[in-house]
Structure formats: C-alpha cells, structure tokens
Amino acid sequence: MTTSKKSAARPRTASPCPHPKGVLISIGGHERKDTEANDAEFADDSILKRFVEELSGDGPVVVIPTASEEPIEAARDYIKIFTDLGVKRVEVLDIRRRDEADNPECLTVLETAAGIMFTGGDQLRLTALLGGTEMLRLLKARYTHDRIVIAGTSAGAAAMSTPMIYQGRNDAGFVKDEIHVTTGLQFMHDVAVDTHFVARGRIVRMAQIIATNPGCIGLGLEEDTAVLVTNGNELEVIGNGMVVIVDGRECEGNTIHEIKPGEVFSIRNLRIHLLARGQRYTLPIQEQMHI
C-alpha cells in the first residue's frame, strides 16, 4: 500500500499552465471608425485607437477579413483607419480556402505581426476555414508566448471563445435547441461571447448557453464596446457601451436537461454584472494551456 501511495503522488509545479502574454480585444461590433480631427471624443473613446496603443514592436497590423462576404471592402475600412492612426504597415490576409491558411507566405506574415484584426461577418466561416490549420496554431502559439494584440469585431469577437454561438435569432433562446453552438477559435476557454448584445436583445439566448453548461461564463458585448483581455483572464471594458457578464455557477432550478426540444427552459439565480468603460473583471476560469 505504501508503494501505491508513492506512485500516485505527482510533483506540483508553480505554474502548470502559462498565462498568455498576448492581448485580446473582443469588440461588440459597429465600433467607431471616425478619425476626423474635429471629433474631440475620438482620442478618449476609440477602441481601435486603444488597439494601436497596445501594439508592441514594429511588425505590421494584419487584417483578416475571412468572416466577411465582402472581404475586400471590409479590409479597406481597416487599412484606412489604422493608417490614419499612425500604423506604418497594414497587410491583408484574404483567406478564402483552408489551404491558403497553410501557405508559408501567410505564416511568414503572421510570424512578424504586431497585431491581428478579424473583421465581422459570419463566425462559422472563421472556424470552418481556420480551425485545425497551421495559421491558427501559429496565432495561438504567438498569443501564448509573445505580446501580440489579437482583436475581433462582431463575428471576429464571437469566434474567439469556446463555446461559440453561430446560429439563433435575436428574439430566440427561451425554447430548447433554438441556439446552436460549436467550438470556436479557443483564445478564451469556458467563455461564450455574444455581440450586439443590448441592441439585439440577446440576454435570453445567452442564458440558454449558460444553462447547457453553468461552468461557462457569458460575455455579452454591446456595440462600440469591447473587453481588453490580459493574462488570459483579466478584463477591462473599453468603448462607449456596456458589457453584460452572465455567471451561472451558482444557478438553481435548471431544467434544460429535463425538457424536450421545443419546450421552454427555466433557470434561477443567475448572477448578472453590468459593466461600463473602465470597469475590470477577473474571469473565474481554471488555468489551462492555450496551445
């Protein structure tokens, strides 16, 4: 028995999982892109200006418009805004096929990038085209080990988390199986991100996601609002709207596992936090590898 106890013991390490050195910026959509000199508020409120301020080194900002049905147009907007904000090099990776995400030239650009910007569109395009590729593996490695800034707006923000919401009407959610989820790009684990959150009334559909797994934290981002994530779990709210955090870890009366598809679910004792610009929040998630 003594031998058995010894063999079961494992040495403990101080930090089994490295905290990522990179910065994430998840944006709820419709962020301000006006850089006119007479816009006095821009310097104080702009999410994209904060993105530029967080950049480290002289590498390019890389725009990835894969989620968009009109990628050239989507990329053009960000080329202009980042150039206006003083970025010297802005490059575009217009990935439309999975094999393009494994292209050595594409990977070379990402190896030196100081910042990445995923545009809006359809988050399922991002996971279907980038999931399991060398490009995504490289981005995760750089996020873990380098101080790269990775941002996404609307679909680009929703895809950062796991689970990832990819289908469900704005007014849907109270009926079981109305909302569909899949594995996201996994820069944030055990966090579900939803965007345009207040404008499109998405609190109920987020509640259903949390009901399916109360260990997941819901992060609802309103338009022109973002969370800046450091250390993998430290959030700072930036922008002009509100962030809604839904915490179901102490929920009660959850019926999602008991009812049939098409029936209305119940859940009680969800904790809701409403956070404005400058507020901070630590995600109560367990440490785990990001690569």
Question: Would you please indicate which residues are annotated as catalytic (active-site) residues?
Answer: 154, 196, 223
Q: How many CB atoms lie within 10 A of CB 112?
A: 14
H helix runs in the chain, sequence order? 2-8, 42-45, 47-54, 71-84, 104-112, 123-130, 134-145, 155-158, 203-212
Rounded-to-integer distance, Cα 163 and Cα 50, Å? 27
Q: Are 158 and 119 in contact (CB under 8 A)?
A: no
The token duo for 48 is 């994209």
**Tokens for 250?**
């102490």
Q: What angle do CA 224, 54, 93 make, to 5 degrees?
A: 75
Q: Residue 243: beta bridge partners?
A: 221, 275
Q: What element of type H or E holds 37?
A: none
Q: What is the DSSP string of 171-182?
A: T--SBTTSSEEE
Tokens of 200: 């499109």
